[in-house]
A and B are shown apart, each in its own frame.
Chain A
Amino acid sequence: MRWIWIDKFIDFQSGKRAVAVKNVTLAEEHLHDHFPGFPVMPECLMIEAMAQTAGILVGEARAFKEKVILAKIQKAVFFDFVRPGDSIQLEAAIESISPEAAGTHGRITREDHLIAEIDLIFSHIDQNLAGVSFPRENFVFDNGTFQSLLREFTSAGRDSGQEAKGVHG
């Protein structure tokens, strides 16, 4: 099982940009301790949500063939708290992509109010230059859980959309 920390994508432009939504609820138990009487989303979990949004964008750009691993947090700046009941948008854009790695720029907003800026670097670990080898199976994108979030945006989905349009048109 995969721990998925974003709820859905609302925009997905292959190789370029993705926007995901995360709804924050008081049913998330860690909020009871972070902090007692003052529940706010931990900043590390905002980074996780961005890493999933941007990581899926980077993975899809290479057709989920690469094992995409978060390698470096270039920047993480937070401007406001996120509280239970908030719905946050995570926008990620690919700034650079090479055979070995990808760099993304990300913004978290709540109703156009800037919450955080998070820039990340992902490694395509099979292309690492130290010559270390990893298991053959793609343990990052193994069972299609992450891909299922893209159901509405996959080429199959788009094709069937066009077909339907053709029928009605």
Chain B
Amino acid sequence: MAVSRDEIFQKVKDVLIEALGLDEEDVVPKARLMADLGAESIDFLDIVFRLEKTFSIKIAREELFPAEGLLNSGELVVGGRLTDKGLELLKKQLPHVDMTGFEKSPTLAKLADLFTVEAIVKFLEHRLNAA
């Protein structure tokens, strides 16, 4: 049975409230995990663990949040910007992330802004409803 986006959003919201000590009204779809919700790197692991438990699935960390290590490559990143190849790879890794704005200026500094509440919901929607 397909799980609705609203249902997923509600559970993701509860996970983020617990993991990051937030108020309910903070967790809106467009909120960025780091810039808006104050998440730090260890919080991403916490969030992954909580999502695994809530949805009874296994999630490799790089599936949801790609490893910074992948981007420490001269071929994929030059002068703090993703190369075309880097951008292609990132898109492939993160089909659930909306890159419309990011594509125009794909700097590493802006990379963290891609990780929004909505991106998590879309990722889960895809995973949970995959045939």
A: which residues have CB within 8 A of B? 71-72, 74, 95-96, 98, 100-101, 103, 121, 123, 128-131
Contact = CB atoms under 8 A, between A and B. Distances in A.
A72 B46 contact: yes
A121 B44 CA distance: 11
A130 B48 CA distance: 17
Interface of B: 18-19, 41-43, 45-46, 48-49, 52-53, 60-61, 67-69, 72
Given A74-B19, A129-B67, A98 B72 contact: no
Contact of A129 (B18, B52, B60, B68): B68
A93 to B, nearest CB: 13
B69 A129 contact: yes
B17 to A, nearest CB: 13
A61 to B, nearest CB: 15
A20 B61 CA distance: 31
B69 A121 contact: no
A121 B68 contact: no
A96 B56 CA distance: 12
28 contacts: A71-B42, A72-B43, A72-B46, A74-B18, A74-B46, A95-B53, A96-B49, A96-B52, A98-B45, A100-B61, A101-B42, A101-B45, A101-B49, A103-B45, A121-B42, A121-B45, A121-B46, A121-B49, A123-B42, A123-B45, A129-B41, A129-B61, A129-B67, A129-B68, A129-B69, A130-B41, A131-B68, A131-B69
Contacts of A103: 45-46, 49
A103 to B, nearest CB: 4
A74 B18 CA distance: 8
B19 to A, nearest CB: 7
Nearest to A123: B42
Given A95-B53, A96-B53, A131 B72 contact: yes
A143 B66 CA distance: 36
Contacts of A96: 49, 52-53
Contacts of A101: 42, 45, 49
B53 A72 contact: no
A96 B53 CA distance: 9
Contacts of B18: 74
A129 B18 CA distance: 23
Contacts of A123: 42, 45
A71 B40 CA distance: 11
A98 B42 CA distance: 13
Nearest to B67: A129
Nearest to B62: A129
Nearest to B48: A98
Contacts of B60: 98
A103 B53 CA distance: 11
